[in-house]
Structure formats: C-alpha cells, structure tokens
Structure 1
Amino acid sequence: MPRRTATLLASTLMLIALLCAGVLIPVPYSEMSPGPTVNTLGDHDGEPVLQISGRKTYPATGHLNMTTVRVTGPDYTMNLFEAVYGWLDHDNAVVPHKTLYPEGQTPEQADQENAEEFTQSQESAKVAALDQLHIPVASQTVVGSVLKDKPADGRLHAGDVIKAVDGTAVKQVGDVAKLVTRHKPGQPVVFTIVPAKQAAAAEKQGKKPGTAGQKQITITTEKADNGRAVVGIQAGVDHIFPFPIDVKLADVGGPSAGLMFALGIVDKLTPGDMTGGKFVAGTGTIDDKGKVGPIGGISMKTVGARDKGAEFFLTPKDNCATAAKDTPRGLRLVKVDTIGDAVKALEKIRKGDVAGLPSCSPAGAS
C-alpha cells in the first residue's frame, strides 16, 4: 500500500475513533439554553396566567414576560461531542453538572426543590405587589416543616398555626425558637396551635383562624448538636390575602419569576397600562419587601426575550454587569433593585422617556 494511502487511511480511522469517543465518553457537564417566555398579563394553555377574584381588575395590554432557562435533566448524561458543541454555541452554556444538581441530590429532590421555590416566589410576589399598592396583607406564624424522628414528629404538622409557646403569644416567626430554647433539653414545652386544616379553611375566607378549635400540644425537648433544646420543627410565615390571587403556570420551577409576577399583579389591579403597550420582559427573585434578587442564566434569558420580540429587559442590579457583556441587539437592559424601581421604569417606558432609564454596564466600565 502506498505510504500516502496508508497515511490517509490511518488519519481517517483516527478521526472515526475520535468521533466515536466523543459520542461514547460521558462528561460531568449539563447544558443551559434559552427557555420559553410567558406573558404574565396574558393566557397560557388557554387560561389567564394571573387570576384575581374578589377585587376590581383592569384590562392590561402589552407584555410583562417572565423568562426561563431550559436545562438538561439531573439524569441526563452529556457526551464529549455535545459538550464541545455547547461550548461553541453562542446562545447556550455548558456548566459543571454539580452547579445545577448538587452531588447526592436525586431527580425527585431537585424537582421538589424547584417546585417549592416556585411556590414561595408566587407568595412573595403577591405580598410585594399588594404592599406596592398599599393593600394590607395579614400574616401568621406556622409550622413550616417537621423533622422526621424528632420530638414534634406526629405531634405538630406543616401548616399548623402557632399561636403561643408556654402561654406566651407568638408575634413573629423568630419568637418560636427563642421560647423553645429557654428550656433545657428534656423539659416539656407547650404549643398552642390551630390545626392546619382549620387554618386553611379560615384563610380561604381571607381571615385568621379564631380561638375555637385551638389545641395545646406538650412536647418534650431534646438536645441539639449545639447543646440547645429543640423539638424538631422549622417555623415559617403564612400570609392571609384579602382576596384570592392565583398563578396558573405549570412546568416551571425556581424563584426567578417573582418580579414579573408581582408586576403583572400590580398592572391588573391598576387602571391603565403600565407598559403603554410595549413589550417588556425581565427576571429576578423578589422577597416580601419587594427587594429584587439575582438569578442564574441571565444571558440565556435575554436571548430568549429578544427572540420573542422584547424591547426592554428588567434586569436585577446584581446581574447587570454579566448581562451587559453580551446584550442581544435591539434589547435595552433596565437595572432594577426593587419592585418600586421596576414600576418607575415602566412609567418611563410608557411615557417614552427611555433616556432616563437606569441602564446596565459591563463590569469595570465607567
């Protein structure tokens, strides 16, 4: 066989071997890519995303789109070829698998965590929106979770309202731990509670549960690793809204839609259009006080928003520098730190005063 032919054949076989290796060799990475966007002012799968009853609402046009990131699942095994292709694709990101799914976390646990974060983001969005509109929202301290095989297991239940500990009224969530840790391990502590089922029935009517049906549960404390007395519960806060607000959106997880849900609620409860008919998208977590927090995958969310036609993108302050490094052409980043910032920005957008919008700059830019 001529040397040239042999060299060509060897090179071809090596290339085939490398391609096969690229397909067969697993690598510990996951891929993130632009996901769907949903207008919080509109419908999704045939029904309104935001459903408000018991309060006057107003028609809202334009877009206040929440944005998402599509990620490979926790069980997905990426090969070397896919990883290289992802690294070369401008709109996607290949990241270490453990960045998205901590070691030891099962797919079921990942799904549960995303669902819980999504539910909590909805609750905080409602509270922040109503606070922005100066509509009072009542709150109460509840049993958030009960640790298995701890003293409270089977005695207290998630959703039980904690009215008092040892006869001392519980006024805020931090009171529970303070009152329990006054005891020494092995001593009894008395919880005055309203059972979760009864509390839920009152909440549906927009009311706090009354004293009827209250129970006193005595639990013997045990010693925690730090030496303090504990019963094995995590206290939480439950809000009682003056009228029903429901978010109808399936197959979405995580906390990053909080800001856009809150703005959608404000728009529907306010006469006129907050966007002036413009296409505004955005992202950001939100807490009960209306503080906007950073999220992951910002560059993919801006790409997804622009692909759908967004002109403006409400960007958490702490994501601004990253988002500004590679902003899609035709999309204007608007920096926000609170829901109040976002409402003011939308007012400028509605009036056409875009020159006055707070903008994002790359890190190190002046």
Structure 2
Amino acid sequence: MTINRDEKKNFFSQNKFVILFLIAFAFIAFYPLPYYITSPGDARELDPIIHVEDGDEDEGVFMLTTVSIGTANIPQYIWAKLSDYREVIPADQIRSEDETDEEYNQRQLQMMEDSQHAATIVAYQEAGKKVDIEYHGVYVTGIMSGMPAEEKLKVGDKIVAVDHKPVMETKKLLEVLSPKKAGDKVDLTILRGDKKMNVALNIEEFPKKYVQDEGPKAGLGITSPVADVSIVTNPKVKIDTSQIGGPSAGLMFTLEILDQLNKEDLTHGKKIAGTGTMDLQKNVGPIGGIQQKIVAADDAGAEIFFAPVEANNYRDAVKVQKDIGSKMKIVPVKTLDDALEYLEKL
C-alpha cells in the first residue's frame, strides 16, 4: 500500500496539533536544566559490604545511608520544588564548570576510597590491631576553571613531588603549597597513567567567586586532593562498595570494622544508621543531604541515627525526624568517641 502526497498532506494537516504537542512534550521532558535533583536513597547494611577476616558477627546492624542524585529536566524540577525531601541544587555546586560526568564520578569514587582508608586506619588503631600505611602520592580529583592547573593537569593525575621534593600525602602537599603567593612558580612531578612528567605552574589568585568574603587567596586551582594509600592490616579487611561514591560513610565504616574486630557487640542488637566523614584524628565531619538520609534510614527501620553536629547536620536531622513522625533516635556526634560512648550505654 502506498500513500500519495495529498494523503500525507491531509494527515499532517489533521494531526498537526497532536504532532506539535508531542514535540513540545519531548522538549519539556528531556531538555536538561543546569540543576541537579537529590532525593532519599537507601540505607544499606554494612555486614555484606565489609568483611574482616575471622570477624565477629552480631545480632544488630550498622547501615550507611545514601542520597540519589541526577540531572534535572523541567518535570523533575517542578516535582522537586513541590516535594518536601527532594532538593534542587545548582550544577556549579555539584561539580566545577568544566568537569565532565566521568571526572565527577571518578572524584566521588576516589573520595569514597579515601574514606575507606581513614575508617580502616582509625578502627584498627582503636582496636589495637596491626595496620601498616604507605602513601604513594596525591590524586588530582578536581580542577578550578580559569586557574593554572586547568591547562596542564588532568583529573586522575597523581602528584608525587613539588619542586623536586617528594610529596606523598595530602597534608604534606597543602603544607608545601599554602605559603606560596601569587607570582611564585612551582614544579610538580606527576604520574599520568604509566608516564612520569614534570609540570611547571604559576601560583595565581583565585577568582572572587571561589573565595567569596575570605579575601584574596592564591593557589594552583586543585580541589579535593586525595592521597593514594595502601594499607596492610592484620587481620585482613575487604570493603566492596561497588559504585557508591563520596566520603560520607566514613563514620559508619569505622564502626562496622571496629565491631567486627571486637568480640563485644557494639550494636546491642539494634539497627543503627548514620552518616559523617572520618579523619585520622577521629573527627566526624559534616555531609550534604542529611534530610534525605533521615528519610532513607527511617524507611529501612533504623532505630538510631548518628548525625554530625557541624554545619547544622544534627539540627536539620532532628527537624526532619519530627516532620515525618519518626521514632528513630537522632544522636549528635563530633568524634568517634561520642558514638562509642553512646553505644556503651545502650
């Protein structure tokens, strides 16, 4: 069967409003906006994720909490604005101006790996177990637009020396670069894959949009550097987080590893969720998305939730807990010791 030109013309004439509607709908549905939408993720038990060799098993569980995030289109933007626990975040607050999806994902996974290392070190030291640490350099996980690093460095480069002096830790890198002033020059030794190279860079003042009211500051434009660390423990520990990114599970990783290392049941049979970064001084740092994580933990039946005190995380967590009518106990923590002291009293 063939359709002649007149029949085609009549078809489009009779259905032009339908066709125009479908085109408009497709545009609205798929046109990306410069925003991200965050929503409640899930609460995952850490027993299947973390395995300490010959580790102790308990009746209760520790859980990490996640936030789902994705780019926004027009319907999602409107839905998020009308929802209580979905948040609209400008894209430049999630990733830098020139950062690709691949670079963003790589940065998040490297931050997760750094979180695992810190949690392992702190837990083994707290338990009095053997842990050997070796540092192999500092990864570039983010680059500021318009700064010297943008032209010569790439996300994934590993810095191993500054001015021909070895720099293997993030702390050391910051110590070396912090005294530098605008106009100074530095020579970085980096590893890009299997290739070793020297890169000469000038120190420049940060654009005003990066320093806000802090006054002029200078640097290379490297953001969120993460150390390349290898850890040898006795007993051995294995952590499998798949594609979960970011550093916010540090506290809960630490508690789960410590729980498996100790014969005592830290959970006391409870379902315990929480969030917060962990540093080597046992400080619990603030995170984003605390509101969504409270919803996720409550949906998973958590009885207790550890919330960082800083950046109003604890205050916001309590507000959401009341708003949704949850019976979950919100516990404020500044350090690992705060969480351990609370658990001892259960």
Q: TM-score if structure 1 supplies the norm length?
A: 0.64
Equivalent-residue separation in structure 1 for 2:30 and 2:167 (angstroms): 63
Q: Secondary structure at the match of 1:272?
A: coil
1:225 equivalenced with 2:203 (yes/no): yes
Offset from partner CA, 1:9-50 (integer Å, 9 cap, x none): xxxxxxx99x9586576543221111121111x22xxxxx11
Point out where structure 1 has 5 or more consecutive residues left out of the alignment: 1-15, 44-48, 198-216, 350-366
Q: Where does residue 73 of structure 2 map in the other structure?
A: 78
Q: Where does residue 356 of structure 1 map in the other structure?
A: none
Q: Secondary structure at the match of 1:242?
A: strand
Aligned mate of 1:280, from 272, 289, 308: 272
Equivalent-residue separation in structure 2 for 1:250 and 1:241 (angstroms): 21
Point out where structure 2 has 5 or more consecutive residues left out of the alignment: 1-20, 141-148, 205-219
Aligned mate of 1:325, from 303, 319, 330: 319
Percent of matched pairs sharing the same residue: 27
Give the length in aligned residue pairs.
281
Q: Could you tell me which amino acid in structure 1 is paired with residue 51 of structure 2?
A: Q
Equivalent-residue separation in structure 2 for 1:222 and 1:108 (angstroms): 26
Q: Could you tell me which amino acid in structure 2 is paired with residue 91 of structure 1?
A: Y
Q: Where does residue 105 of structure 2 map in the other structure?
A: 111
CA contact (8 A) 1:117 1:255 kept: yes
Distance 1:172 1:261, change over 3 A: closer
Offset from partner CA, 1:212-244 (integer Å, 9 cap, x none): xxxxx9x98957437xxx9x9x89473543322
Structure 1 residue 282: deviation in Å? 0.4
Equivalent-residue separation in structure 1 for 2:35 and 2:100 (angstroms): 16
Structure 1 residue 288: deviation in Å? 1.5
Equivalent-residue separation in structure 2 for 1:138 and 1:64 (angstroms): 26
CA contact (8 A) 2:114 2:226 kept: no
Distance 1:330 1:173, change over 3 A: closer
Offset from partner CA, 1:99-145 (integer Å, 9 cap, x none): 22332211101110111011100001101111222335333443324
Q: Which has the higher Rg, Structure 1 or Structure 2?
A: 1
Q: Where does residue 88 of structure 2 map in the other structure?
A: 94
CA contact (8 A) 1:87 1:93 kept: yes
Structure 1 residue 294: deviation in Å? 0.6
CA contact (8 A) 1:176 1:235 kept: no
Q: Secondary structure at the match of 2:233?
A: coil
Equivalent-residue separation in structure 1 for 2:128 and 2:264 (angstroms): 18
Q: Where does residue 123 of structure 1 map in the other structure?
A: 117
- Map 1:189-338 onto structure 2 (within 5 A): 224-225=202-203, 236=227, 238=229, 240-243=231-234, 244-318=236-310, 319-327=313-321, 328=324, 329-338=326-335
Equivalent-residue separation in structure 1 for 2:327 and 2:261 (angstroms): 30
Q: Where does residue 51 of structure 1 map in the other structure?
A: 51
CA contact (8 A) 1:144 1:235 kept: yes
Q: Could you tell me which amino acid in structure 2 is paired with residue 334 of structure 1?
A: V
Equivalent-residue separation in structure 2 for 1:188 and 1:78 (angstroms): 43
Offset from partner CA, 1:60-110 (integer Å, 9 cap, x none): 2211100000011xxx4411x321221112232222233223322111011
CA contact (8 A) 1:281 1:314 kept: yes
Equivalent-residue separation in structure 2 for 1:135 and 1:51 (angstroms): 15
1:342 equivalenced with 2:339 (yes/no): yes
Equivalent-residue separation in structure 1 for 2:114 and 2:302 (angstroms): 27
Equivalent-residue separation in structure 1 for 2:81 and 2:187 (angstroms): 59
Distance 1:297 1:223, change over 3 A: closer
Q: Secondary structure at the match of 1:321?
A: helix
Q: TM-score if structure 2 supplies the norm length?
A: 0.67
Aligned mate of 2:127, from 121, 127, 133: 133
Offset from partner CA, 1:155-193 (integer Å, 9 cap, x none): xx9597x9xx78x99999639976xx9xxx99999x9xx
